[in-house]
Amino acid sequence: MKYGIPLMERKIIITEDGSHTVSIPEMGVTYHSIHGAIQESKHVFIEAGFNYVIDTLSKAQINILDVGFGTGLNALLTAINLEEILKTGYYVALEPYPLTGDEVHLLNYCNQLARKDLQDDFIRLHQCEWNKSITLTDRFLLHKSNNTLQTFEHTSNFDLIYFDAFDPDVQPELWTKDVFEKLYRMLKENGILVTYSSKGDVRRALQSTGFYVEKIPGATGKREMIRAKK
């Protein structure tokens, strides 16, 4: 999930809900919440983002930008939910520092979700070609970009943005007004951006860009998160 950290030593660890995350010991950070990788992704990005947008979306396809791809957990959960509601998704994911194949094979998400049937698709999420749109399933079109957010350009207007950079204390350059202005332009009218952070500086940067910002209950271990609407 987390995006834009140069190659350092990475370790696969277990979080409190039994699902894996990736730890970078040198920086003291993890890709997902230690309180539960799957529970966090479901709460922040699926329940507060995907489900919220789907309820108001009249067309059959939802366009999503994931900043960033990381372990592929957000993409996997999105693909599962698209399958359940019989809609299609165009999913663009940014990740300049992808996991290795060995790291991906260690991740236990399909087992934890009782969806072992999706293990091959999960591996394909990571192995498919970069900077090209790939039909992963009948309902899931994936375009992975190994560009940074600052250099990324895309013509599609998105219904939903999963903003999952590392904490503002770790990656302050990704939580600025300039970055949020770029993301604002990429969203359709009434489009949504969701993020786990609810820090005052983040909220003010979003508001100064033109977003309507609401603080809503966060995932386990965090009191609040942000949902911002264009």
Ordered structural domains, the chain, with CATH = 38-229 (3.40.50.150)
Q: What is the mean pLDDT of residues 4-22?
A: 87
Residue 156: predicted pLDDT: 77
Burial per residue of 47-67, b for 16 or more beta-carbon CB atoms within 10 angstroms, e otherwise: ebbbebbbeebeeeebbbbbb
Residue 173: predicted pLDDT: 92
Residue 56: predicted pLDDT: 85
**3 state DSSP class of 37:** helix
Rounded CA-CA distance 27/66 in Å is 23
pTM of this prediction?
A: 0.95
Rounded CA-CA distance 204/207 in Å is 5
Rounded CA-CA distance 117/165 in Å is 29
Give percent of the chain above pLDDT 90.
82
> Is pLDDT at 1 greater than 90 in this prediction?
no
Q: What is the mean pLDDT of residues 196-208?
A: 96
Q: What is the mean pLDDT of residues 116-121?
A: 95
Give percent of the chain above pLDDT 70.
97
Beta bridge partners of 160: 64, 192
**3 state DSSP class of 66:** strand
Q: What is the mean pLDDT of residues 198-217?
A: 96
**3 state DSSP class of 92:** strand
Tell me the torsion sign for CA atoms 84, 88, 92, 98: positive
Q: What mean pLDDT, rounded, does the chain reach?
A: 93
